[in-house]
Amino acid sequence: MKCTLKSFVVTTLAAAVSFSTFAADDTKTVDSEKIEGIEWGIGGGPMYDPDFDFGVTVTPSLAYLFDTSKASSTNAMAAHGSNKNWNVGVDNYWYMFDDRVKAQFYAAYTDAADLTFFDPFVTKRVQPIAVQTISSRGHLVYQVFENAYIGPSFRFNKRTNERDSSEPGSLGNSSS
**Of residues 20 and 6, which shows the higher confidence score?**
6
**Of residues 96 and 25, which shows the higher confidence score?**
96
C-alpha torsion sign, points 110, 114, 116, 122: positive
Domain ranges within the chain, ordered by starting residue? 2-175
pLDDT > 70? residue 33: no
pLDDT of residue 163: 52
pLDDT of residue 130: 77
Tens digits of residue pLDDT in 133-161 = 899 999 999 999 988 999 999 999 887 76
Return the percentage of the chain with pLDDT > 70, whole number.
67
Rounded distance between C-alpha atoms, residue 56 and residue 39, angstroms: 24
Rounded distance between C-alpha atoms, residue 59 and residue 72, angstroms: 16
DSSP-assigned letters across all residues of 89-139: EEEEEEEETTTTEEEEEEEEEEEEEEEEEEETTTT-EEEEEEEEEEEEEEE
Rounded distance between C-alpha atoms, residue 26 and residue 28, angstroms: 5
Q: Which of 65-69, 91-95, 128-132 has the largest mean confidence?
A: 91-95
CA distance readout (Å), 64 to 17, 44, 67, 106:
29, 21, 9, 18
C-alpha torsion sign, points 10, 48, 129, 171: positive
Tens digits of residue pLDDT in 93-128 = 999 998 899 999 999 998 887 777 676 777 777 777
pLDDT > 60? residue 80: yes
Q: Is 96 exposed, middle or buried (0-12, 13-18, 19+ CB in 10 A)?
A: middle
Region 67-86 average pLDDT: 88
pLDDT of residue 176: 40
